[in-house]
A and B are shown apart, each in its own frame.
Chain A
Amino acid sequence: MDHEKIVPDIAHLGLGFEVLSVKQAYPDETRLEVPVAAFRESCLTLHRLFSSPVMMLFASDEIRTKGSFTLRAVFMDKGRGQWMVVSADVPQGEPCFDSLAKDMHSAILFEREIREMFGIEPKGHPDPRRLHLHNEVWPAGQFPLRKDFKPSPPANFGAYKFSRVEGEGIFEVPVGPVHAGIIGPGHFRFSVAGEPIVQLETRLGFTHRGVEKLFEGRDPAAGLALSERVCGDAAFGHSLAFASACEKILGARAPLQAAYVRGIYLELERLYNHVNDIGGMATDVSFSFPAALASVIKESIHVLNEKLTGSRYLKNANRIAGVASGISGPLKKELLRSLKILRRDFQELVTILNRSVSFMDRVDSTGTLKKKTAEDLGVVGLAGRASGVALDLRKFFPGAYQDVSFKMAMQASGDVLARFRVRVQEWECSCRMIEEFAEKLDGGPIGAAAPLKPGEGLGYAEAWRGPVLYWVQLSESGVIERCKIVDASFHNWPALTYAVLGNIIPDFPLCNKSFDLSYSGNDL
């Protein structure tokens, strides 16, 4: 076995665990196969070695092909631009493994998900509750992601237990799932002592639609349409991650011109969401003039999106190994012209907010997420960068981004102001990169053939919230066997419950908006 050559760092470790095989599956993906008894040890080793949270941790039902369940954990080796995938077979007769959760926070929710979806027990997991499948409607012993799953009538499985803070003067404030605004559903339970929040527990899963199961049995083209509807405001990010997973497996690369167009779309998605959030922050401090300006800027980007792709949300713009249409001639001119106006308007928006003492007073040192907390929880993406966690897939896995002047936006303070500033910096950078991408467009080919092939692979994209990861497995007949999705929101929701501590409930909307995590991307 020459795994020392493939993973040089492992040689120095004097491996405390047994490795069955090491394989460089794709240029950016290394796979380690270990026995299930060594799964915990090997994951923790990679976790410490690469200082990487577990980016994905999931099971798949491979009983029909291999006679067992398979667990996979994905870590990131930023230094070498490699995804490390650890896999272990879990026998059908003994569906359990040693829990990672006590040593690695980022595994907690993943393991709860594995338990409820597959009935595989993470031994020693501190939290026995289910995650997406609510007790009120879902019976015991029903594991929807198993291949032999048959739905049964709904049944009550007992009450959900919230963790409680008790004592004199403690008030509990339950909020949701139906909120006052026009937003997604989620339940927040605050415990307050006087005004400050001493505990916040989120209960999500209200938009759980069984998306991962719906992918199964679809071909990649149909899967692409579904991936655009997983998380509506990151439709392009999700479709890009899904497409790149399929392209890896099929051995079909999108031409460079298509990669540039994808870069433009991905950055346009970032632009409209960032300006929306900045407007949302202004709304949450009741500063309505900049909020209105932000919504006009956002609307203009939607109109621009529609001109470029026919969809205000960049849906149906992506293809496996390409894009639906190029950007040339008058469209390119229109893009650059609009961008100029957008930049000027955005500059005005930022100037207004930066000069407003009351806005600054509300956002400065509000909702602080410390760097240590962020690292321990495995916070990724925009929220991570605002707390000093230097992680952006565009830097470490650049692809087409190596041809443009990308600069990672960073802040250290981790408060609402930091997340505001990261958005402002990223907006500037995204505008510049769109111009640079557009300069490189020469009307070359924007699609490639993608012959069907079985296999499995990891696709990824740095969407506006953070990394979106898709792990896709295609069968011999070219349909999806398993699709695991991880949106940045899944990593980041727990961070919100720490960021709000010590703040007052009236500041919660502001803290929440500064993260702006997705309900649908989290619940799947």
Chain B
Amino acid sequence: MYYGMPLELKSDMSIFTTRLFKGIVTRNIKPSVSPALESCGKELKALIRKRFGRSLHLREVDTGSCGACESEIIAANNPIYDLQRFGISFVASPRHADALLVTGPVSKNMALALKRTYEAMPEPKFIITVGDCALDGGVFRGSYYVEGGVEKLLPVVLHVPGCPPSPLALIESLLGFLRRTP
């Protein structure tokens, strides 16, 4: 499905002039990718408001992923999913984070950096793993250079499965987790 709305431009009219005359002509991205997104998001927002005061701040750490999980986490922030409107923001420092989102099988070179990032976070804090290799190493399990999952080093409260998990799967997992925890 593609929900682009055509902009009928005349060749002699600049985009900005068009906007000036036409008002808001940004694309209509509703109905969204899946109707599940809106209902999930609404509930997620309410739960986050209740449990975390206003919002949930996440810090992402890549411990040796192939990059697909990062790409999907970034996609969750694009205008179509727009995770931020549900009260979830990604922050640049672990000092600002409530939770750590960890991808990758934990390569030996990243083990220390992961621990330090976790230590830098203020309490209370928790870890969510994203993607199959963060659970137990996935396809990289048994390699001489991976620890084989985040749980071997640090406590994990939630795992989001998938290779990579789609943005919607990420949102649904977070929702399921918040529903379960009191």
Asked whether A209 lies within 8 Å of B105 as measured between CB atoms, the reply is yes
CB within 8 Å: A-B pair count: 165
Binds A, one of B35-43, B46-54, B56-64: B56-64
Asked whether A231 lies within 8 Å of B66 as measured between CB atoms, the reply is yes
A300–B142 Cα gap in the complex (Å)? Answer: 36
- Interface status of B179 (Cβ within 8 A of chain A): no
Asked whether A181 lies within 8 Å of B92 as measured between CB atoms, the reply is yes
A133–B64 Cα gap in the complex (Å)? Answer: 13
Asked whether A214 lies within 8 Å of B143 as measured between CB atoms, the reply is yes
Q: Among A178, A211, A519, which residue has its beta carbon within 8 angstroms of that of B140?
A: A211
Binds B, one of A33-41, A99-107, A319-327, A345-353: A345-353
Q: Among A132, A229, A296, which residue has its beta carbon within 8 angstroms of that of B80?
A: A296
Asked whether A295 lies within 8 Å of B79 as measured between CB atoms, the reply is yes
Asked whether B15 lies within 8 Å of A345 as measured between CB atoms, the reply is no
With known contacts A184-B67, A206-B107, A207-B104, A300–B2 Cβ distance under 8 A = yes
Asked whether A185 lies within 8 Å of B110 as measured between CB atoms, the reply is yes
Question: In this complex, what residue of A is CB-closest to B106?
Answer: A209
CB neighbours of B70 from chain A (8 A): 182-184, 232
Asked whether A295 lies within 8 Å of B65 as measured between CB atoms, the reply is no
CB neighbours of A355 from chain B (8 A): 14-16
Binds B, one of A134-142, A392-400, A454-462, A503-511: A134-142
- Interface status of B86 (Cβ within 8 A of chain A): no
Question: In this complex, what residue of B is CB-closest to A312?
Answer: B166
A181–B163 Cα gap in the complex (Å)? Answer: 21
With known contacts A178-B117, A303-B1, A352-B15, A144–B145 Cβ distance under 8 A = yes
CB neighbours of B62 from chain A (8 A): 182-185, 207, 519
- Interface status of A380 (Cβ within 8 A of chain B): no
- Interface status of A126 (Cβ within 8 A of chain B): no
Complex interface residues of chain A between 91 and 146 (CB less than 8 A to chain B)? 132-134, 136-138, 144
* Interface residues as binary, A489-524 with B (CB distance below 8 Å gives 1, 0 otherwise): 000000000000000000000000000001110010
Asked whether B140 lies within 8 Å of A209 as measured between CB atoms, the reply is yes
Asked whether B66 lies within 8 Å of A232 as measured between CB atoms, the reply is yes
Asked whether A209 lies within 8 Å of B27 as measured between CB atoms, the reply is no
Asked whether B6 lies within 8 Å of A344 as measured between CB atoms, the reply is yes
Complex interface residues of chain A between 165 and 218 (CB less than 8 A to chain B)? 177-178, 180-185, 205-211, 213-214
With known contacts A182-B74, A295-B75, A205–B109 Cβ distance under 8 A = yes
Asked whether A233 lies within 8 Å of B68 as measured between CB atoms, the reply is yes
- Interface status of A298 (Cβ within 8 A of chain B): yes
Task: For residue A470, give the distance in angstroms from its CB to the closest CB of chain B.
Answer: 16
Asked whether B111 lies within 8 Å of A137 as measured between CB atoms, the reply is yes
Question: In this complex, what residue of B is CB-closest to A180?
Answer: B92
- Interface status of B128 (Cβ within 8 A of chain A): no
Complex interface residues of chain B between 81 and 106 (CB less than 8 A to chain A)? 90, 92-94, 104-105
- Interface status of A313 (Cβ within 8 A of chain B): yes
- Interface status of B154 (Cβ within 8 A of chain A): no
Asked whether B69 lies within 8 Å of A207 as measured between CB atoms, the reply is no
- Interface status of A158 (Cβ within 8 A of chain B): no
CB neighbours of A7 from chain B (8 A): none
Asked whether A519 lies within 8 Å of B67 as measured between CB atoms, the reply is yes
Asked whether B105 lies within 8 Å of A185 as measured between CB atoms, the reply is no
- Interface status of A329 (Cβ within 8 A of chain B): no
Task: For residue B140, give the distance in angstroms from its CB to the closest CB of chain A.
Answer: 5
With known contacts A185-B62, A292-B79, A207–B110 Cβ distance under 8 A = yes
Question: In this complex, what residue of B is CB-closest to A149?
Answer: B144
Asked whether B105 lies within 8 Å of A296 as measured between CB atoms, the reply is no
A338–B3 Cα gap in the complex (Å)? Answer: 10
- Interface status of B7 (Cβ within 8 A of chain A): yes
Question: In this complex, what residue of A is CB-closest to B145?
Answer: A210
- Interface status of B153 (Cβ within 8 A of chain A): no
Asked whether B67 lies within 8 Å of A232 as measured between CB atoms, the reply is yes
Task: For residue B31, give the distance in angstroms from its CB to the closest CB of chain A.
Answer: 13
Q: Among B67, B108, B112, B164, which residue has its beta carbon within 8 angstroms of that of A231?
A: B67
A304–B113 Cα gap in the complex (Å)? Answer: 37
- A-B contact list, 29 entries, CB within 8 Å: A132-B109, A137-B112, A149-B144, A177-B113, A180-B92, A182-B60, A205-B109, A206-B110, A207-B110, A209-B140, A209-B143, A210-B143, A213-B143, A214-B139, A229-B68, A231-B66, A232-B65, A232-B69, A233-B67, A295-B75, A296-B27, A298-B78, A299-B78, A300-B2, A313-B68, A313-B164, A348-B7, A355-B14, A523-B107
Give 19 new A-B contacts, CB below 8 A, not counting A210-B144, A520-B64. A137-B112, A144-B144, A178-B113, A206-B109, A206-B110, A209-B140, A210-B140, A229-B138, A229-B163, A230-B66, A232-B70, A233-B67, A295-B74, A299-B80, A341-B2, A352-B15, A355-B15, A518-B67, A520-B65
A interface list, Cβ under 8 A from B: 132-134, 136-138, 144, 149, 151, 154, 177-178, 180-185, 205-211, 213-214, 225-226, 229-233, 235, 276, 292, 295-296, 298-300, 302-304, 312-313, 315, 338, 341-342, 344-345, 348, 351-352, 355, 518-520, 523
